[in-house]
Structure 1
């Protein structure tokens, strides 16, 4: 990728020295500060320029690793304990490079002065940013191979390149980069007067991926679990709660998946790591939630639609922020499931020929049974809607 003039999009040329697009939208960012402050708009411009400039540097650093260090794994004299460990050391770095060099960077370069378009770049590639959680999850294994064994093959390559930075420092770049995205998006959010919702959504996306890598590592430490966690949808979050159930109190590490909520007990290992002993789990489509509890402002309740009222779990969070995050995610999951359930029932009614639009034009008949059949369908629908309202409200 050239450092000099390139085309940044239709009607937009790139400055030869700064590589930042200039053209018909120069100085017009599609927004104004609340007080019409030129300095506020200028600061926003600089944040967006920094995002593009540092993205170029980031792509170069990823390419540098793949050019100089990755080929070492194919050498015949590679140490025995490194053979077949290409994926452990470098993780999904090649996929990260392909994503950023072929998609994300070109799109950012095409809209460096449009905050809404920049935010949409993040949102449009939300699935690709999931690569960072996987990279973070793999990083401890990579560090163990490189730092603990301190292989000469990587040190010699560093000396050949005359580089002050070693491979471990370069492999830290993706972790540093996603943290940088979070900081820059927060700056954009503070300075932008419009498009705030889109920028906030992009910032939330990045924060989730930063947390998700650690959540995946923690999930791998669950033991004695008889549930296939790979079939429970995405892991949304995990935290420690004080749990109250039938006058009993205990501390549990709780994991929230799209389709499952899992309770585990933390246990220290001989080497100081935490593992999580599986205790119980419940499908999210079997539970309901109450945002508040008389016990504490930090508490919320989980209950079951087909059990007695005393079968209620009260979870006390460590902070108001943790409680709010959990109740927000649980509410979204429950509403999504309610909407999906309603859609499935409507599809079933259509398949059975019970929808409002009949499959064929049935001629009127004097047979009384036709009237009773229609009446039955209408009554059933009314009852069904009533149950739907009662269950999810």
Structure 2
């Protein structure tokens, strides 16, 4: 009977642990022995394309860890150790986020990768076994807009700008701090692409080894998806607060009670002079009219009572109404077929999700798959399951528990 993927991963992970504890010239136990990929990295052997892909992963991680170290020691460390405060504590926090945690993770991952003796399967297992730890990137990515804003503020100050330039000169960096602070955002979204190159050039696309490579791709694809999703939710939460502050004539509850902001857009409305600005939340549709920088409340419909009527005569038009007041329709015209398609898809989805009766999941999917617009699902892993499995639970706005031993400012 074939071992399940999780058992195989644990076996490989144990080998990786032993390799780290018993460092030898070969690095990975069995790299010169019985493993079918043992020839990789053998002296005198001409590197294959797969060899070069694996080497690129290790070398790029080494460069990345070095860049992170330069931020932590060459910028953050100098700011903390300065006799006279150069930046305010809140500026330091916004500027660097949890960069020390990111550096610590990258350094540990690099040690693991260097122990793999150029074995692509061992490299893949490194990412599977450390998948939970990548949750710390959520906090960094959510904070990144604040980091950009803090750096912009610093560059307006002659004293702070001069200090940062001096740090750059000491490090002999051709690029300023801002370019280095972007690197973690770029790196976390690239891991699954690098692993895909391993799979693409893997010689035997069958068996346990190839399955482990695919598992690593799935894992890091889910990580990238989750971080992008958390970043989107964070941005939408900020936008939701902004809408609340600009809304005139609204006497209902706080907009956060309607769940996450899903879509917003402006539509031409029939039988009225002005366009309508729509905000679709998880639990309600808010209909407003623009007045300068503000939004004037016109109507709202709970998604549990929402009715969608699609026009068969005009490809851009559709109507919305409360199912108890079907004659009081809001007839709208989208700017493009694609915009209408996206809106009607999400409206259908939320009507189904908020329906008072329990609708089987397969029935919901069957209805939504009838749309031409249907977002592809990740085939081999569930991002929801990944979120639940991460032991680093979000704190507030996507923050996570910090790793131990951080240097405090």
TM above 0.5: yes
Instruction: Tell me whether 1:141 sits opposite 2:149 in the alignment.
Output: yes
- The match for 1:354 is none
Contact 1:242 1:249 in 2 (8 A): no
- The match for 1:86 is 92
Provide the rounded CA distance (Å) in 2 between the counterparts of 1:326 and 1:126: 33
Provide the rounded CA distance (Å) in 1 between the counterparts of 2:327 and 2:125: 49
Kindly state the Cα deviation for residue 142 of structure 1 after the two structures are TM-superposed: 2.0
- The match for 2:282 is 258
SS in 2 for 1:9: helix
SS in 2 for 1:155: helix
141 and 154 in structure 1: CA distance in 2 versus 1, 3 angstrom threshold: same
Contact 2:305 2:323 in 1 (8 A): yes
Instruction: Tell me whether 1:169 sits opposite 2:179 in the alignment.
Output: yes
Deviation by residue 1:70-119 (Cα, 9 ceiling, x = unmatched): 2314644124x735422222234345446656689969998954999799
Q: TM-score, normalised by structure 1?
A: 0.56
Task: Decide which of 71, 74, 88 is 1:65's aligned counterpart.
Answer: 71
- The match for 1:316 is 334
- The match for 1:131 is 139
Kindly state the Cα deviation for residue 286 of structure 1 after the two structures are TM-superposed: 3.2
Provide the rounded CA distance (Å) in 1 between the counterparts of 2:312 and 2:255: 33
Kindly state the Cα deviation for residue 134 of structure 1 after the two structures are TM-superposed: 1.3
57 and 210 in structure 1: CA distance in 2 versus 1, 3 angstrom threshold: farther
Q: Which has the higher contact order (CA 8 A, sep 6+)?
A: 2
Kindly state the Cα deviation for residue 206 of structure 1 after the two structures are TM-superposed: 5.4
Provide the rounded CA distance (Å) in 2 between the counterparts of 1:324 and 1:148: 45
Deviation by residue 1:210-242 (Cα, 9 ceiling, x = unmatched): 655655565564332465345544444x45342
Long gaps (5+) in structure 1: 1-6, 29-41, 269-274, 344-384
Provide the rounded CA distance (Å) in 1 between the counterparts of 2:198 and 2:335: 31
Instruction: Tell me whether 1:10 sits opposite 2:20 in the alignment.
Output: no
- The match for 1:294 is 312
Long gaps (5+) in structure 2: 1-10, 39-47, 206-210, 369-409
Kindly state the Cα deviation for residue 183 of structure 1 after the two structures are TM-superposed: 5.7
Provide the rounded CA distance (Å) in 1 between the counterparts of 2:227 and 2:258: 23
154 and 120 in structure 1: CA distance in 2 versus 1, 3 angstrom threshold: same
Task: Decide which of 254, 265, 271 is 1:228's aligned counterpart.
Answer: 254
Provide the rounded CA distance (Å) in 2 between the counterparts of 1:294 and 1:122: 52
- The farther-off stretch of 13-22 and 161-170 is 13-22
Task: Decide which of 158, 162, 166 is 1:156's aligned counterpart.
Answer: 166
Q: CA RMSD in A?
A: 5.4
Deviation by residue 1:148-167 (Cα, 9 ceiling, x = unmatched): 33522222222333333332
Contact 1:298 1:316 in 2 (8 A): yes
Return the structure number with greater strand share.
1
Provide the rounded CA distance (Å) in 1 between the counterparts of 2:148 and 2:132: 29
Q: TM-score, normalised by structure 2?
A: 0.54
Task: Decide which of 240, 256, 279 is 2:265's aligned counterpart.
Answer: 240
Contact 1:265 1:277 in 2 (8 A): yes
- The match for 2:393 is none
Instruction: Tell me whether 1:77 sits opposite 2:84 in the alignment.
Output: yes
Contact 1:300 1:314 in 2 (8 A): yes
Q: How do 1:345-356 residues align onto structure 2 when only pairs under 5 Å count?
A: none
- The match for 1:362 is none
Q: How do 1:367-386 residues align onto structure 2 when only pairs under 5 Å count?
A: none
Bigger radius of gyration among the two: 1
Contact 2:109 2:126 in 1 (8 A): no
Deviation by residue 1:6-61 (Cα, 9 ceiling, x = unmatched): x9723355898998998577559xxxxxxxxxxxxx87886676556534543443
Contact 1:21 1:109 in 2 (8 A): no
Kindly state the Cα deviation for residue 121 of structure 1 after the two structures are TM-superposed: 7.7
Kindly state the Cα deviation for residue 207 of structure 1 after the two structures are TM-superposed: 4.9
Aligned length: 318
